[in-house]
Amino acid sequence: MTATKIDGTAIAKTIRERISKEIADKQARNPRYKPGLVIIQVGDRSDSSTYVRMKLKAAEEANIVCNLEKYAEDISEIELLEKIDAFNNDPAVHGILVQLPVPGHINEYNVTSAVADTKDVDGFGGPNIGELAKKGGTPLFVPCTPKGVMVLLEESGIDVRGKNAVVLGRSDIVGAPVSYLLRNADATVTVCHSRTQGMEDILRRADIVVAAIGKERFVKGDWLKKGAVVIDVGTNYVPDDTKKSGQRLVGDVDYDAAVEVASYITPVPGGVGPMTVAMLLRNVVNAADSYFDRQKSRHITPLPLKLKSPVPSDIAISRAQHPKMITKVASEVGIAPHELEPFGAYKAKVSLDVLSRLSHRRNGRYILVAGITPTPLGEGKSTTTIGLTQALAGQLGRIAFANVRQPSQGPTFGIKGGAAGGGYSQVIPMDEFNLHLTGDIHAITAANNLLAAAIDTRMYHEATQKDGPLFRRLVPEKKGKRTFLPIMFKRLKKLGIDKTDPNELTEEEAKKFARLDIDPETITWRRVLDVNDRHLRGITIGQAPTENKVPPRETGFDISVASECMAVLALSTDLADMRDRLGKMVVASSRAGDPVTADDLGIGGALTALMKDAIKPNLMQTLEGTPVFVHAGPFANISIGNSSIIADRVALKLAGTEQDEDHNAKTGFVVTEAGFDFTMGGERFMNIKCRNSGLVPDVVVIVATARALKVHGGGPEIKPGEQLAEVYRTENVGVLREGCVNLAKHIQNARQYGVEVVVAVNRFETDTDAELEVIREEALKAGAADAIPANHWAEGGVGAVDLAKGVIRVAEQSQPERFKLLYGLEDSVQERIEAIAKRMYGAAAVDFSETARKKVEMYTKQGLGNLPICIAKTQYSLSHDPALKGAPEGFTVPIRDVRMAAGAGYLFALAADVQTIPGLPTAPGYLNVEVDCETGEVDGLF
């Protein structure tokens, strides 16, 4: 009998047509679905080039994006590995194929192993081969030729179960993987190689023969069992004068003799070869499918909590929970390995590359957590932010991020203590959260103080040099040529000088360029440090004998988080925007009344260099292992009191949905916190942060406590460290209901922006059901969509499940188009301040001091008057006066001063005497701090 020829060309053509249709169908559902393959070829071997052309042609026909990357024969192994790594990190590339063989100076194993497992469409990497060899293993990809062999057998209707299969050859490319596949398909497999004894006898007992030995016509017809199935994988060239090339391709089997014995046989060419290419395309499509599936299959596996009653201290709870590795936290929410920069085991920075990779995604839901006017004890706003997120992600299965500010070390070692939440709703590890974290505040401190040094240094040099020498030293001659540095063109442009050659400037132009002529009385830039030190609030500098050319001047220190550099970090949208903002920061005025900026000093680039890593948000986790972004910490009294726009943007994309997902069913949540009450952090979030970011919140959560509302209902003053009065420890519905006017005002304030409100009643164990019902009644009467008690402090995410469900329900009905800001920038400065004071605080009028009026006139004249407003005031009242509780009306807000934050992009008006560097109490927090010298653990922070 004559064997049936297994037509690999026809079978492969059918498979390629199926693949092409499959891709077209998927692209119709998701236009972004574009499987991508990169073929890497080193050198220009003619045999390799032939295979590459076949693959390129087949990929093009199947609508697979295929790029050939050709590198010179002498490329080093390190350079080649760098190229592969870049493709590993490219989301548009789903498969990487290194065309073998590679030049002798390159280690083939190193190169094939460098291809990411998820892109190893050749299946040659260790994990894929290892999984294939393991019984029950699940390789991501099977090598293309062995896979083609199995498909040929399947398509030909050949059942291999229980058959004797002999594989000639044990290469990692064909022989070994084919033997694993046959074994996994329940064949009895024998592998023969050059050292095998009695090979002919073994072959005569074989039901299936796979020849991959690389020797032309090695297997003779009389070596085969009658009716055997022969799969010839050989590719050998022999001379043939009838061919244009002078040679033809033959296999490892003597085809003419074998065809008379076998039942099925593959020809060479036209057998396994076309299948190899078809299987490559199949693997690329599978790789693309896996990539897109991973984008939609993000899932957070929560850490279980072991709740105790009574609730232990915060630090005891933190220590009792073992965090996930930060790499796992990142992986669960879809952050790629190359986008993560770990700082130790439990914290990391996240690259802004995430934003470009996920730019196509619809944002997740955006939730703002603010509060009512608090007591000095705090009402659990941070704890609620964490607890709500733990409920959303840990209990309800949504992707959810808590976005919080980085705490300053000043309060940590002073009065307030840590800021990681509390009880069973906190960020861990708490000590790392509250101390150095990843060094962002240190970077801001360095940048701020470099700018302070630059100001005084420039004044010194201008005072000690004449115009000509000053210009020549600023623009020195190097190698016989004087050139402007790139940053200098910013000042030239500001001065209206369009010359690019320093030698072409007139004496007057050179003087204008070189002499900033800073008026010392107008310098607003102060030095900073991240420590509470009241004795640095006012200092005199320039007293050393070496500085006697410039009179000493008075200045002072602020706490680092009060630096405008911190506000810039919080409000920047990307690195370029941060660079622009840092350069625009106004530090003083010239004697002529012109604003002097950081770029005038030529320092904007250096400031950006110091802060370029700080712009990346910091990833941590909650007690339940759900993700937290900790980024930026602008001082809440005089600045915006919010975490960064960038952290919110990154989290919203990571929590968002792909184009072919049901948004309501699958979307995640970003829960971001605003400092103090809604009239402070919340108002600035809306009018400054949202104005700048273009983002709109879906829901505002107002955190309330019965304790604080009783204060606003006439309860006695609460002082830290003192016993709470009886009214706060027992039921008193009357006082509570009176105090709900404060909650009502905050609800009304939030709803002015067109956003619905959910009230989170942070429940204390002394609260009664009757009191909680009063708060709910008053909240709904004031216009809240819902008011829900939560016990996340004592129960973690479980205690906030009802709150989370309420937030989801209201968020699904959000109408972003209803969002509106409180004022327009075309309004005058006074009109903007009055809008905030009257509509947010309940004031009847605003009274400007003479200093404030003159400052506003100067900013307007300088072209810096059309900026949003940040009013610095007390956090203990809706008004400027901490003694006015409840919802006062009819008062006048005094504006003592108006200051400029041109880089951050707002004016801040002072309605209270706010200390920008707090002092330490008699018994500061640092007294409690100690380090266990055996374990290295920090005790006493909380």
Nearest Cα neighbor of 677 from 913, 906, 378, 385 is 378
Residue 417's pLDDT band (cuts 50, 70, 90): low
Is residue 426 within 8 Å of residue 386, measured between CB atoms? yes
Instruction: Determine the average pLDDT of the residues in 161-186.
Output: 95
**Which two tokens mark 208?**
């299936």
Q: What is the largest CA-CA distance in the chain?
A: 111
Q: What is the pLDDT of residue 658?
A: 93
Q: What is the pLDDT of residue 461?
A: 96
Task: Give the span between the Cα atoms of 560 and 527, in whole angstroms.
Answer: 8
Instruction: Determine the average pLDDT of the residues in 406-426.
Output: 78
Q: Is 522 exposed, middle or buried (0-12, 13-18, 19+ CB in 10 A)?
A: middle
| Close Cβ partners of 478 (under 8 Å, ≥ 6 residues apart) | none
The one-letter amino acid at 266: T
Nearest Cα neighbor of 525 from 584, 585, 445 is 585
Task: Give the span between the Cα atoms of 525 and 597, in whole angstroms.
Answer: 11
Instruction: Determine the average pLDDT of the residues in 330-346.
Output: 97
Catalytic residues: 55, 99, 122
**Edge-to-edge strands of the sheet including 65-71?**
65-71, 36-42, 95-98
Bigger pLDDT: 314 vs 692: 692
* pLDDT greater than 70 at residue 419: no
Is residue 160 within 8 Å of residue 179, measured between CB atoms? no
Is residue 391 within 8 Å of residue 697, measured between CB atoms? no
State CA 351 to chain mean position distance.
Answer: 6
The one-letter amino acid at 794: A
Cis link prior to 627 (omega < 30° from 0)? no
Q: What is the pLDDT of residues 422-464, one digit of tens each?
A: 999 999 998 888 888 999 999 999 999 999 999 999 999 999 9
Q: Classify 69 as helix, strand or coil.
A: strand
Phi, psi of 589 (to 5 degrees): -125, 150
**Which two tokens mark 659?**
């184009």
**Using alpha carbons only, what angle is made at residue 804 by residues 800 and 805, rounded to the nearest 5 degrees?**
120
Is residue 614 within 8 Å of residue 585, measured between CB atoms? no
Is residue 398 within 8 Å of residue 392, measured between CB atoms? yes
Q: What is the pLDDT of residues 474-528, one digit of tens each?
A: 999 998 899 999 999 999 999 999 999 999 999 999 999 999 999 999 999 999 9
Instruction: Determine the average pLDDT of the residues in 696-719.
Output: 96
Q: Is 360 exposed, middle or buried (0-12, 13-18, 19+ CB in 10 A)?
A: middle
3-state secondary structure 490-548: HHHHHCCCCCCCHHHCCHHHHHHHHCCCECHHHCCCCEEECCCCHHHCCEEECCCHHHC
Q: What is the pLDDT of residues 13-49, one digit of tens each?
A: 999 999 999 999 999 989 999 999 999 999 887 667 7
**Which two tokens mark 65?**
């994006």
Strands (E), 632-743: 669-673, 699-704
Query: Helical H runs in 465-487?
Result: 467-474
CA atoms within 13 A on the CB side of 392: 34
Handedness of CA 67, 68, 74, 80 (dihedral sign): positive
Q: Say what angle helices 604-611 and 440-464 make with each other, to 10 degrees.
A: 160
Q: What is the pLDDT of residue 774?
A: 97
779-818 as b/e: b if 16+ CB within 10 A: beebebbbbbbbbbbbbbbbbbbbbbbbbbebbeebeeee
Nearest Cα neighbor of 625 from 375, 334, 427 is 427
Is residue 766 within 8 Å of residue 748, measured between CB atoms? no
Cis link prior to 101 (omega < 30° from 0)? yes
Task: Give the span between the Cα atoms of 263 and 259, in whole angstroms.
Answer: 8
Nearest Cα neighbor of 884 from 694, 742, 753, 698 is 742
Is residue 692 within 8 Å of residue 571, measured between CB atoms? yes
State CA 646 to chain mean position distance.
Answer: 8
**Which two tokens mark 785?**
């969509």
The one-letter amino acid at 511: K
| Close Cβ partners of 137 (under 8 Å, ≥ 6 residues apart) | 130, 131
Nearest Cα neighbor of 757 from 746, 742, 772 is 746
Question: How many other CB atoms are there within 10 angstroms of residue 21's CB atom?
Answer: 12
Q: Which one-letter DSSP state was computed for residue 755? A: -
Nearest Cα neighbor of 334 from 361, 286, 295, 307 is 295
**Which two tokens mark 655?**
């929590």
pTM comes to: 0.93
**Least confident segment among 19-33, 231-245, 335-349, 908-922:** 908-922
Task: Give the span between the Cα atoms of 716 and 555, in whole angstroms.
Answer: 39
% pLDDT > 70, the chain: 99
Quick one: CA torsion of 491, 497, 499, 502, rounded to 10 degrees? -60
Is residue 636 within 8 Å of residue 266, measured between CB atoms? no
State CA 288 to chain mean position distance.
Answer: 23
**Which two tokens mark 79?**
């350079």
Q: What is the pLDDT of residues 640-698, one digit of tens each?
A: 999 999 999 999 999 999 988 999 999 999 999 998 999 999 999 999 999 999 999 99
The one-letter amino acid at 47: D
Q: Classify 436 as helix, strand or coil.
A: coil
* pLDDT greater than 80 at residue 240: yes
Q: What is the pLDDT of residues 801-834, one digit of tens each?
A: 999 999 999 999 999 999 999 999 999 999 999 9
The DSSP element (H or E) to which 742 belongs, if any, is: helix 733-751
Q: What is the pLDDT of residue 181?
A: 96
Q: What is the pLDDT of residues 610-627, one digit of tens each?
A: 999 999 999 999 999 999
Nearest Cα neighbor of 859 from 919, 901, 819, 913 is 901
Nearest Cα neighbor of 616 from 449, 438, 366 is 438
* pLDDT greater than 60 at residue 421: yes
Instruction: Determine the average pLDDT of the residues in 702-717.
Output: 96
Task: Give the span between the Cα atoms of 323 and 343, in whole angstroms.
Answer: 14
Q: Classify 77 as helix, strand or coil.
A: helix
Task: Give the span between the Cα atoms of 660 and 675, in whole angstroms.
Answer: 37
Is residue 59 within 8 Å of residue 281, measured between CB atoms? yes
Q: What is the pLDDT of residue 54?
A: 87
Question: How many other CB atoms are there within 10 angstroms of residue 766's CB atom?
Answer: 13
